[in-house]
């Protein structure tokens, strides 16, 4: 795998799939907790409510934008895979998938896939996921970072030119 933190876009006939891979220097169980435990999710992504079971509700409330996402868990393989629907306001539903693969004994590859069946503002979404994923390693070290609008703008500009 190429060592890049930048997301990849796969365009389809209707919609797009965004894909990020991050090699994190933490074991998979710690990362699983960071993507499923509301107390940890809020340190790098959003205020969260998660009922961790198939069909369980997911709600994310982003402090930086006031954006609220609601969904249902559609796939769940404990410790390895979490997928949920993504419903936000007037936009059509999309899907977010988190997948973990073990690296060596103290690392894990986190893959994030966001699949859209419609057109959307790809540079904005890519920049947002990129920045949140940049914040995750700091949260795992219990040293959370604050959201940075200047960094988001810089990333959005790079994704706009890609």
Q: How far apart are CA 150 and CA 47, in angstroms?
A: 22
Would you state the structure tokens that stand for residue 152, as one six-digit string? 């988001």
Token representation of residue 8: 């990849």
- 30-85 pLDDT tens trace: 999 999 999 999 999 999 999 999 999 999 999 988 899 999 999 999 999 999 99
Distances (CA, A) of 155 to 25, 119, 123, 152: 23, 20, 8, 5
Over residues 17-44, the pLDDT tens digits come to: 999 999 999 999 999 999 999 999 999 9
Residue identified by tokens 């997911």 is 58
List the domain boundaries for the chain: 8-161
**CATH architecture label of 8-161:** 2-Layer Sandwich (3.30)
CB count within 10 Å of CB 10 equals 11
Question: Please, what's the b/e burial string for 88-113 (b: 16 or more CB within 10 A of its CB; e: otherwise)?
Answer: eeeeeebbbbbbbeeeeeeebbbebb
Distance, CA of 113 to CA of 127 (rounded, Å): 14
């Amino acid at each position: 795998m190429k060592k890049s933190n930048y997301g990849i876009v796969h365009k389809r006939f209707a919609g797009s799939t965004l894909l990020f891979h991050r090699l994190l220097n933490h074991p998979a169980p710690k990362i699983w907790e960071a993507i499923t435990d509301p107390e940890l999710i809020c340190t790098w992504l959003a205020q969260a409510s998660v009922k961790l079971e198939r069909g369980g509700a997911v709600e994310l409330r982003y402090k930086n934008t006031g954006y609220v996402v609601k969904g249902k868990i559609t796939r769940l393989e404990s410790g390895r895979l979490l997928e949920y629907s993504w419903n936000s306001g007037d936009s059509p539903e999309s899907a977010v998938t988190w997948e973990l693969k073990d690296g060596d004994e103290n690392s894990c590859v986190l893959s994030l896939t966001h699949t859209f069946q419609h057109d959307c503002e790809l540079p904005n979404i890519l920049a947002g996921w990129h920045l949140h994923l940049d914040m995750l390693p700091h949260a795992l070290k219990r040293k959370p970072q604050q959201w940075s609008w200047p960094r988001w703008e810089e990333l959005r500009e790079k994704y706009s030119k890609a």
